[in-house]
Amino acid sequence: MDEPSHFTLSGYFDVGLLKYLCFVLLLCLYLLIIGANLLLILVICVNRTLHEPMYLFLLSLFVNELYGSSCMFPLLLVQVLSDSHTVSVPLCLLQIYLLYSYSGVELFNLAAMSYDRYVAICCPLHYHRAMTSRRAVVLIALAWLLPVPLCVIMVCMSSSLQLCGNIIHKVYCDNYLVVRLSCHDTRPINVYGLLLNSTVISTTVVLIFYSYSRIISVCVWSSAETRQKALSTCSPQMASLINFTCGSSFELLSSRFDLDGIPEVLRVLLSLYWLLCQPLFNPCMYGLKMSRSCISILVWTVH
């Protein structure tokens, strides 16, 4: 059997002329995501008072949101207007790598941010010595570099599979669904995928859980002022983590289980939630805390 030269994304359905409305809405959402994240990146870069480890981690987070949304939206916009909904095999594998690396960077970045808040709240006298800007840059570099070899190995294993089909039941390329199209034994890549996901998720979640549990224990026995400070700095990170975790869980459920009892439109939205909402959710959450600096930058830009 000849190897397929393209995949068909069967998650799209015919909505007639409404596809142009969907295109406009998605384009506006994409432009809003780009504008919001770029604004906060500019605020952090221009305002010297924000050149601290906490804001360096935020800078990395906003850059990753631009990266993740740009991995998804361009192809999604093209497919919404298309009638064939096909994507070449190399482009599909590239999208798989980009989306998985985005997820890895997001988790590592959130873990580094939780550690930073743990040091700031639980060891305030040692914070500036323990968390320097150079150390923050090293942690950010690790967050961006660690997912690269892990995702490259996964994509290389997927690209070597002999496929007996080319239909992916989703609106974007998913590695698990590509592996399911294989004609032969997929145990090696399944084991690798299980080890990859369990290792990345367990290490980051354990670090995040440990950091926030220590923060909570310190706050219980601290003054109201300390609790207020911890709440104001940690609540956006916890909200971001919960939002990303829920979105990723929806994506995993939609890929690995038959959700026939859920309407098709809702299934598509659930599978897209982590890519559509997280890049907009983070700048909205942190933008509220940085609103004064954002207004100053906008006034400066206008004048």
Name the one residue in this structure whose structure tokens are 């000849």: 2
Domain borders along the chain are: 16-302
Long-range contacts from 14-20, C-beta under 8 angstroms, 24+ separation? 19/80, 19/81, 20/81
Structure tokens at 144: 């961006």
pTM of the model: 0.89
Residues 21/71, Cβ–Cβ less than 8 Å: no
Give CA–CA dist 204/212, Å, rounded.
12
Q: What is the DSSP letter of 182?
A: B
Residue 146, SS3? coil
Query: Cα–Cα distance between 200 and 192 in angstroms, integer?
Result: 12
Q: List the one residue out of 207, 211, 232, 236 whose CA is nearest residue 61.
A: 236
* 158 contacts 92 by C-beta, under 8 angstroms: no
User: Which neighbouring-strand residues pair with 8?
Assistant: 86, 167
> What pLDDT is attached to residue 162?
86
| Amino acid present at 66 | L
Report d(CA 150, CA 76) in Å as an integer: 25
Query: What is residue 93's predicted lDDT score, i.e. its pLDDT?
Result: 93
Q: 48-53: long-range contacts (C-beta < 8 A, 24 or more apart)?
A: 50/290, 50/293, 51/133, 52/133, 53/116, 53/131, 53/132, 53/133, 53/135, 53/136
Q: Which residues are CB-neighbours of 34 under 8 A, at least 6 positions away?
A: 66, 69
Query: According to the model, what pLDDT value does residue 302 have?
Result: 47
Whole-number pLDDT of residue 239: 85
Query: What pLDDT was estimated at residue 64?
Result: 95
Please name which of 32, 35, 31, 40 lies closest in space to residue 61, comparing C-alpha atoms: 40
Model pLDDT, residue 84: 83
169: buried, middle or exposed (CB in 10 Å: 19+, 13-18, 0-12)?
middle
**Can you tell me whether residue 13 is helix, strand or coil?**
coil
Q: What is the pLDDT of residue 295?
A: 54
| Local confidence pLDDT in tens for the 303 residues of the chain | 566 788 988 888 777 788 899 899 999 999 999 999 998 998 888 888 888 898 999 999 999 999 999 988 999 999 998 888 899 999 999 999 999 999 999 999 999 999 998 888 888 888 888 888 899 999 999 999 999 999 999 999 888 888 888 888 888 988 888 888 888 778 888 888 888 888 888 888 888 888 888 888 877 777 777 777 777 777 888 888 888 888 887 777 777 776 666 777 777 888 888 888 889 888 888 877 666 555 555 555 445
Following DSSP, what letter does each residue of 99-144 receive, concatenated? Answer: HHHHHHHHHHHHHHHHHHHHHHHHSGGGHHHHS-HHHHHHHHHHHH
Q: Quote the tokens at residue 209.
A: 């859980």
Q: Which homologous superfamily does the CATH classification assign to the domain defined by 16-302?
A: Rhodopsin 7-helix transmembrane proteins (1.20.1070.10)
